[in-house]
Amino acid sequence: MSGNLLLTGLSGLNAFRNVLNTTGHNISNATTEGYSRQRVELETRNAQLVGSGYVGSGVQSTTVSRSYDTFLATQFRSSSSAASDLNSYVNLASQIDNVLANPNVGLSVSLQEFFNAAQEVADDPTSIPARQVLLSEGEVIQNRINNLDQLFTDITSQINNNLDDTVADINILATGIAELNDQIVLAVGIGGGNQPNDLLDQRDKLIDSLSTKTSVTTNVQEDGSVNVFIGSGQSLVLGNIANKLATQPSATDPTVKEIVFKQTSGNLIVTKFMSGGELGGTLRFRDEILETSINNLGETAIALSAAVNQVHTNGVDLNGVQGQTFFNEPSVTVTAGGSNTGTLGVTFDPATTAELTGSAYTIEITAGVNPGDLDTYAITSNPGGSAIADGELPAGDVIAAGLVFDLSGAEADDIYTVTPSLVKNAAGAFSMGISDPREVAAALPVVSSLNPANAGSAKLSDMSISNLSKDGLPSPGTITLKFDGPNNQYILTGGVTGSINPYVNGGKEEIDVPNFGTIHFTLTGVPQDGDEITLVNNTGGVGDNRNANLLADLQTALSMAGGTASFQDTYGELIADVGRRTQAAEANGLAQEALLTQTITAKDAISGVSLDEEAANLIRFQQAYQAASQVVLTSRTIFDTLLAAFR
Amino acid sequence: MDRISTSLSQQLGITSILFQQAEVNQIQQQISLGKRILTPSDDPAASVRLLDLNESLSRLNQFQENLDVAQNRLSLSEGTLQAVTESLQRTRELAVQGFNATNSATDKAAIAEEIFQRLDEIVALANTKDASGDYIYAGFKSQTQAVTGNSDTGTFAFQGDQGQRLIRIGENREISDSNSGAEVFFNISDGAGGVESAFKSIYDLATDLEGNGTSAGEHLEQLDRILGSVLDVRSQIGARLNVLDSQSETNQDFKLSIQSTKSQIEDLDMAEAISDFNMKIVALQAAQQAFVRVQNLSLFNQL
C-alpha cells in the first residue's frame, strides 16, 4: 500500500519536475525568435486492480509538445511573402518616384526652359547671349536625360546586386533546411516518435525567412522532413538535398540578370515564375517601373532629338549656312549591299518611337517584272524575316517600325541592312550636336516678297521648309509665283515648273524645289491678274526668327505616341504611371502589413510565450511539486507507523 | 480569450509607436514645405495636373517677356515714325512757304537747304537701330543698313527685305514687331500707278525749289501721300500696341487663375494640417506612455 503511495508520489515529483523544466525553458526562450511555447503532456498512470477496484497509481508525462498551428504558419508565410514583396517594391519605386517630378532633377522644367529659350531667340535672333542660353538649356536637357539614365543604370545594377544577394540567402537557407531535415529525421527515429520541438522551430524559422525572400510551398513527409518548393514548383529542398539558384546575364539584354534554377541538365531560367518576397517585389519593380521608365526616357530622347533636328536642319544659322543636327541623334546604321546602285536614308520617327524594337531590318528593292511595271520594296525584320512593310517603290518616305525609310534614292536590285540603336541606350547617348551660338538655325533659307506693283492683296505666310539639302535656291536663285487671273492659278518659274492650281484663299501650298527642298507656305488674300510673289535666298536675314518660332512650337506639338502626345505629356504620363504604381503598392503594403500583424497575433496567441502565464504555471506546478513531496513524506510516515506497530 | 505573448505585446507597442512617428514625420514635412503633395505617389493625378499647370505658367511668363520685347520695339517704331511725321509736316510747311511766288531765288534756295536737312533727318530716322543694334526697318536683314543715300547723292536704295518678324504673345497669338522700310518709305504710290520712295520725292521737291521752281502742287500731293502712308503704318502700330495691352491683361488673368488652381491642388491647408499635427503628437505620446505602462506589468514583479 504505502509502496504504491511512494511510487505515486514519486511519479508526481518526476512529472512536475518535467513541467517546471519546460516552464523554465519557455521563460528562457520568451524572446527567442521562432520559438513555439512547449508543454508537457501529462496522463494518469495505469491503475492497479485490487479487490475493491482500480486504484490510481499516479501521473506520467507522455511527451513534450509544441504549440504550433500548421495552417496559421502557412498563412503567416504567405502574408510575409506578400508584405516583403510590396516592401521591396515600394523601396525601389520611391527612388524613381521621388526623382521624376523633382524640378531640380526631372526633365519637365528643363524642357520648358529649353523651349522658352527658343522663344527668347525668336524675340531677338541676332542676340548671341539669347542663342547661348538656348545652347545652355540644350545642355541642361542633355544632363538631365543623361543623369536620369545614370540613375536608371545605377538602379539596374543595384537590382542585379540585390538579386545576387537574395539568391545567395535563399541558397544558404535551403542548405540549412536540408541539414535540419537530416537532424530531425534522425531525432524522430531515436526519440521513438517524440518530436524534437526545438529543431522543428529552427527549421520553421528558416522557412519563415525563406518566405520573405520568395513565395514557398512546403510538404511535410512522414519521416518528419519537409520538402520546399519555389517558383512554379521547382523543388528547392527535397529531404536532405538542397538545390541551388543562381543568376546569369539575360540573353536578350546582358545588363539585366535572370534567376536560374541549377539542374544537372543545365540552367533553367525561372525569372518569370518567381513571385512574392524580396525577389518577387524586385523583379516586379524591374518589369513594371524600371523598364517602362528606361524605355519612356529613351523614346523621349529619340523623339526630341529627331523633332528638334528636323526643324533645325531645315533652317539656316547666323552665317546663312544650313542648320546642323542640334542634338546628336541615336544612331541608325545603314549597311548597303555590295552591288547597290542607289542610296537609302533612315531616321527615327518621333511620332512612333513606341514601335521601335531591338530588331534590325532588311530592305530589298525588286525590279518590276514587265517593262513599265514599277519597282517594289520589301522591309523585313532581321533575323526573323517577318514582313514589316512592302509595296510599290515610292518617291519618298515609308514610315514603319518607328523608323522613316527615305526610299527616294533607292534603285532596283538594291539591298540594305538597317540597325537602329536600342531605345534603352538612347538616353545615355543623348548629347548636343552644336556648340557655337552662331550655329543656331533661327532663320529660314528663303524669304518672300511682294512686287510693289501688285494690285491685289495676296500674301504669303507661315513658311516652313522640309528635306532641305542645300542652303541656297538653285539657279537663277529666284522663284516667281505669277497670278494668272483668268485661270485662277499661280504659274511657277525660276528653277521650278508647274503651277498652284487652283488658287485657294488660305490654302496650304508647297513647292518642291529640285536640289534644294520643299517650301511650305500659306497663301491668303485676293490677287489680281499679273500680281507676283517672289521667293529669294534669305541672304543676310539675320533678323529672321521664323525657324526659332518653329522650334518653339515643338513644345506643344504632338510629336510622340503616334501624334497624340507632346514631350511633356509623355514625361507626365511616366510620372503618373510610376506615381500610381507606387501609390498602389504603398496602399497594398499597408493592407498587407495589417494582415500580417493579424496573422502574427493569431499565430502568437497559440505559439507565443506569455511570461504572466508562465509565472502562474511556475506557482501552480511548484505547489503541485510540493504537494507530491508531501505525498512521499506521508508514505514514509505510514511506513514508519506500520514498523512501529510490529516493534 | 486570446493569449497575448510577452514579446508580441512589446512588438505591437513598438509598431504602433513607429507608425505614429511616420505619420508625424510626413505631416511635419508637409508643414515645413507648405505642400500637400511631396512626391507624385501622394496624388498621381494631381501631380500630372501640376506639371501641366507649371508648363502653362512657364509659357505665360515667356509670352509676357516676348510681349515686352514686342512692346518695346513697336514703341520705338511709333516714336520714330512720330518724329518722321513731324519732319514731314515741317517739310510740307517749308514747301508751302518756299513755293510762294513772293520768295526770291535766294530765299527759295535757303528754304530748300532746310528741306535737304529734313531729308537727311528722315533718312537717319529710317536707319534707326534698336537696343540690340538691329535696324528696325530693314526686315530680316536687320544688320544691314536699311536705307542708303542722302541729300548729296540724291539716289536712295532700300537694302532690307520685306521680312516681318512674328512674336508669340499668347497661346495661338502672335504679332509682328516691325514694319519693313519697303512698306513705310519706299513703296509709296506716285498717284500714277507706280511707286516712288519718300526720300526721292522730298529730294525732287527740294531740288525743284532750289532751282527756283514755281509749282508746289504735285510735290504737296506727293507729300500728303507720304504722310498718309506713314500715318497708316502708325495706326497699324497703335492697333498692335492695343492688342499687346489687352493680351497682357489676358495673360495676367490666365496666370492668376492658374496660380489659384495650382494653389488649390498643391498647397497645404495650414490650419487643418497644424491641428492634425497636434492630434498626431498627442497620439504618439499616448502610444509611448501606454507602452511604458504595459511593459511594467508583469506577474514576476509580484513574486
> Same domain, yes or no, for A79 and A214?
yes
Torsion of CA A124, A127, A129, A134, to 10 degrees: 50
Could you tell me if A570 lies within 8 Å of chain B, comparing CB atoms? no
Residues of A in contact with B132 (CB under 8 A): 124, 126-127
Q: Which residue of B has its CA nearest to A573?
A: B48
Residues of B in contact with A101 (CB under 8 A): 39-40, 47, 51
Q: Residue A193's domain spans which residues?
A: 73-104+141-292+568-599
Q: Please provide the distance, in angstroms rounded to a whole number, between the alpha carbons at the two ends of chain B.
A: 24
Q: How far is the CA of A58 from the CAs of A16, A18, A54, A621, in angstroms?
A: 12, 15, 12, 15
> Same domain, yes or no, for A274 and A339?
no
Task: Report the pLDDT value the prediction gives residue B1, as an integer from 0 to 100.
Answer: 62
Q: Are A441 and A316 in contact (CB under 8 A)?
A: yes
Residues of A in contact with B6 (CB under 8 A): 30-31, 608-612
| Contact between chains at A123 and B174 (C-beta distance less than 8 A) | no
pLDDT band of residue B70 (cuts 50, 70, 90) is: very high
Domains: count for chain A: 4
* Residue A545 placed within a domain: no
Mean pLDDT by 10 residues, chain A (647 residues): 78 94 94 92 90 89 93 94 96 92 88 96 95 96 94 94 96 97 94 91 96 96 94 92 94 88 90 94 95 89 92 94 91 85 86 76 88 87 82 86 87 88 84 94 95 92 91 90 95 92 94 92 95 94 95 92 88 93 94 92 92 92 94 91 88
Q: Are A280 and A159 in contact (CB under 8 A)?
A: no
B58 vs A116, A579, A586: nearest CB: A116
> Same domain, yes or no, for A208 and A87?
yes
**Distance, in angstroms, between B199 CA and closest chain A CA?**
17
**Distance, in angstroms, between B143 CA and closest chain A CA?**
7
> Same domain, yes or no, for A352 and A476?
no
Please give the Cα distance from A552 to A545 (Å, whole number): 11
Could you tell me if B174 lies within 8 Å of chain A, comparing CB atoms? yes
* Residue A52 placed within a domain: yes
Task: Report the pLDDT value the prediction gives residue A3, as an integer from 0 to 100.
Answer: 59
Task: Classify A36 as helix, strand or coil.
Answer: coil
Task: Give the domain-ending residue among A537, A552, A587.
Answer: A537
Give the pairing type, strands B157-158 and A387-392. unpaired
A543 vs B134, B167, B174: nearest CB: B134
> Same domain, yes or no, for A637 and A591?
no
Q: Which of residues 174-203 of A touch B (CB under 8 A)?
A: none
> Same domain, yes or no, for A407 and A522?
no
> Same domain, yes or no, for A25 and A161?
no
Task: Report the pLDDT value the prediction gives residue A181, as an integer from 0 to 100.
Answer: 97
Residues of B in contact with A546 (CB under 8 A): 166
Amino acid at A224: G
Find residue A245's DSSP bridge partners. Answer: A261
| Contact between chains at B163 and A576 (C-beta distance less than 8 A) | no
Could you tell me if B18 lies within 8 Å of chain A, comparing CB atoms? no
> Same domain, yes or no, for A163 and A24?
no
> Same domain, yes or no, for A386 and A504?
no
* Residue A399 placed within a domain: yes
Q: What is the ipTM of this complex?
A: 0.89
> Same domain, yes or no, for A60 and A25?
yes
Task: Report the pLDDT value the prediction gives residue A236, as an integer from 0 to 100.
Answer: 95
* Residue A311 placed within a domain: no
CA angle B110, B113, B115 (to 5 degrees): 115
Please give the Cα distance from A417 to A405 (Å, whole number): 12
Could you tell me if A284 lies within 8 Å of chain B, comparing CB atoms? no
Task: Give the domain-ending residue among A385, A420, A455.
Answer: A420
> Same domain, yes or no, for A238 and A283?
yes
Residues of B in contact with A98 (CB under 8 A): 39
* Residue A150 placed within a domain: yes
Q: How far is the CA of B120 from the CAs of B193, B223, B256, in angstroms?
A: 27, 16, 49
A575 vs B8, B47, B165: nearest CB: B47
Could you tell me if B269 lies within 8 Å of chain A, comparing CB atoms? no
Task: Report the pLDDT value the prediction gives residue A139, as an integer from 0 to 100.
Answer: 95
| Contact between chains at B69 and A600 (C-beta distance less than 8 A) | no
Please give the Cα distance from A236 to A244 (Å, whole number): 7
Q: Which residue of A has its CA nearest to B192?
A: A453
**Distance, in angstroms, between B284 CA and closest chain A CA?**
19
Could you tell me if B8 lies within 8 Å of chain A, comparing CB atoms? yes
Task: Give the domain-ending residue among A405, A420, A435.
Answer: A420
pLDDT band of residue B231 (cuts 50, 70, 90) is: very high
Has residue B293 got a pLDDT over 70? yes
Could you tell me if A590 lies within 8 Å of chain B, comparing CB atoms? no
Q: How many CB atoms lie within 10 A of CB A107?
A: 28
Task: Give the tens place of pLDDT for each residue, B241-260.
Answer: 999 999 999 999 999 999 99
Q: Which residue of A has its CA nearest to B174?
A: A549
* Residue A551 placed within a domain: no
* Residue A43 placed within a domain: yes
| Contact between chains at A120 and B194 (C-beta distance less than 8 A) | no
Which of B3, B77, B200 is most worth mutating to test chain A (most A CB atoms within 10 A of its CB)? B3
Task: Report the pLDDT value the prediction gives residue A200, as an integer from 0 to 100.
Answer: 96
Q: Per DSSP, which regions of chain B are E strands? A: 147-148, 157-158, 166-170, 173-176, 188-189, 195-196
**Distance, in angstroms, between B119 CA and closest chain A CA?**
23
| DSSP-derived secondary structure letter, B302 | G
> Same domain, yes or no, for A406 and A527?
no
* Residue A297 placed within a domain: no
